[in-house]
Amino acid sequence: MPRLTVWMVRAALLQLGIGVTLGMLLLSTKGGLLDPRFWLLLGSHIELMVFGWLMQFALGVAYWILPRHTHEPRHGNTRLGWVGFVLMNAGVVLILASNWIPDLPALHPVGRLVELVAALALVWVLWPRVKAFGM
């Protein structure tokens, strides 16, 4: 497994753990066990589950599993892949921060922009490797 995949899967699992914990708190809130203010965690739960976990896990595993190039670098532009990984997690952190710092409204659009650039960078690396075997 390439090192980038190791880091992406670890980061994804970490965020799965935190996201599920928030999900359990939300479920308890829905059941009336916790103060309704716990609903404030919903945005963070969605962010961690959709971008931090699902998207990061899918792209990280794709980087490992898609057909490799026959020439070096066999996984494609590795440096751009690392940029995508760092930006993806920076974007998630910015969106989480924006949920808790309403006085900085720019955090949210900046976070989404960073996530978009991250996704584009990773797709740019992966796209040429989406091909039939033997091609």
Residue ranges that bind ligand HEM, judged by CB under 6 A: 20, 23-24, 26-27, 30, 42, 45-46, 49-50, 53-54
**Among 97, 134, 93, 91, which Cα is nearest to 113's?**
91
Shortest gap between Cβ of 101 and ligand HEM (angstroms)? 22
As a whole number of angstroms, the distance between CA 12 and CA 58 comes to 9
Q: How far apart are CA 35 and CA 108, in angstroms?
A: 26
Exposed, middle or buried, 37 (CB in 10 Å: 0-12/13-18/19+)? exposed
C-beta of 31 vs 102, nearer to ligand HEM: 31
Q: What is the nearest approach in angstroms of ligand HEM to the Cβ of residue 72?
A: 36
When the beta carbons of 23 and 67 are compared against ligand HEM, the nearer one is 23
| Least Cβ distance, residue 124 to ligand HEM (angstroms) | 25
